Structure 1
Amino acid sequence: MTMAELLALPPAVSVSTAARALGIGKDKAYELIKAGRFPAQVIPLGATRRVATASLWGTLGVHPSDSR
């Protein structure tokens, strides 16, 4: 995922999108979530899980000002 793609993400993304940004597979991401070890904030929404983009950026060391 490019820096431009990361910076264009909405406030919360799917686990699949977060996994792609982290360079891991979706199955590994769900395994980490289940173990409570996913490296970004996971937001439970019923049976669905979303990942907070700001937390994902923090994990990746990305800052919105990087787009300048």
Structure 2
Amino acid sequence: MPSRVTRRPTLREVERWPATVSVSEAATALGISASHLRAQIAADSAPVEVLRFGRAYRVVTASLVDLLSGRAAA
């Protein structure tokens, strides 16, 4: 499982991530700040599928891969 990602991962690396990742990890893969992605989640406008567990959020890696590879629905 990725932890404290400090550089933008490649698509191949993201494809090997677990089924869900933290908002921070997803934001790094997208090249945006975690606070920006959290704001998009709060506004229900995140470009990736997000699961909510109580007050915590996890990003579905498959939707992240689809977006990064250009396969995401427009």
Q: TM-score range by the shorter chain?
A: 0.7 to 0.9
**Percent of aligned pairs with the same residue?**
40
TM score, norm. by length of structure 1 = 0.84
Higher relative contact order (CA 8 A, sep 6+): 1
Map residues 3-18 of structure 1 onto 2, 5 A cutoff: 3-18=11-26
Shift of 1:4: 3.1
Task: From the two aligned structures, give the one with the greater helix fraction.
Answer: 1
RMSD over aligned CA atoms reads: 1.5
Aligned residues: 63
Name stretches of at least 5 consecutive residues in structure 2 with no aligned partner. Answer: 1-8
Quick one: which amino acid aligns to residue 44 of structure 2? G
Runs of 4+ residues deviating >3 angstroms = none
* Alignment gaps of 5+ in structure 1: 64-68
Q: Residue 46 of structure 1 aligns with which residue? A: 54
Aligned pair partner of 1:37 in 6, 20, 45: 45
- Residue identity opposite 2:55 in structure 1: A
Q: Secondary structure at the match of 1:37?
A: coil
TM-score normalized with structure 2 length: 0.78
**Selected match of 1:57 from 65, 68, 73:** 65
